[in-house]
A and B are shown apart, each in its own frame.
Chain A
Amino acid sequence: SQQGEEDPQALSIQEGENATMNCSYKTSINNLQWYRQNSGRGLVHLILIRSNEREKHSGRLRVTLDTSKKSSSLLITASRAADTASYFCAIGGFKTIFGAGTRLFVKA
């Protein structure tokens, strides 16, 4: 299975702190994506990183990709209460597979 697996399963931090979540996968990939899901809502695409990229930034988000270790990390800097959500990594093409996600809780 190409399924990505996020770690940790849950993370609770104070507003202003950084949040780091990780994703590991088993097969070679062309790209890896991160999505956010607010409670009870659909997923929203955050960022895509291609296999030939090592790091990518988007606002307060920083994603790294280490293809030799088959892992990726998502860093949210200076977190806000509004960042409270579940975060999923996703790999694959048509049959995009999502991991179980990391539930992030940011305390105000």
Chain B
Amino acid sequence: NAGVTQTPKFQVLKTGQSMTLQCAQDMNHNSMYWYRQDPGMGLRLIYYSASEGTTDKGEVPNGYNVSRLNKREFSLRLESAAPSQTSVYFCASSDSSQGARTAFFGQGTRLTVV
């Protein structure tokens, strides 16, 4: 019962470097999400994918790109990392049940940009 799996768990980048955060879910959910969480704050939505083949911007999409590779996988790419992108990144997936979307979260990726 893996649920939502994120890799890597920790990463340190230099300013300007690029990297891709990987996320995979095994619950056959249609929708997937990327959030960031800064210290003492709630989660802010970066991008989401309502279903395979679609992606949409959330609250804070600048500096990020996403790819919904297939139904299971949803990756987040930082093309040119900046210190302001230091954060904990969470991937989540959900499916609708009578219109409600209960999200299941991964364990997070702690990213530090120096």
Contacts and interface: CB of A to CB of B under 8 A. Distances in A.
Contact of B42 (A33, A45, A94, A98): A98
Interface string A34-75: 010000111111001010000000000000000000000000
B99 interface: yes
Nearest to B51: A94
Nearest to B108: A42
A41 B110 CA distance: 11
B42 A95 contact: no
A100 B41 contact: yes
Contacts of B48: 94-95
A76 B41 CA distance: 22
Contacts of B101: 93-94, 96
Given A95-B45, A98-B42, A33 B108 contact: no
Interface size class of A (residues with CB under 8 A): 20 to 34
B102 A94 contact: no
A28 interface: no
B4 interface: yes
B50 interface: yes
A30 B99 contact: yes
A94 B100 contact: no
A33 B40 contact: no
A94 B56 contact: yes
A31 interface: yes
Contacts of A94: 31, 48, 50, 56, 101
A95 B58 contact: yes
B108 to A, nearest CB: 6
Interface in B3-18: 4
Given A94-B48, A94-B50, A94-B56, A45 B104 contact: yes
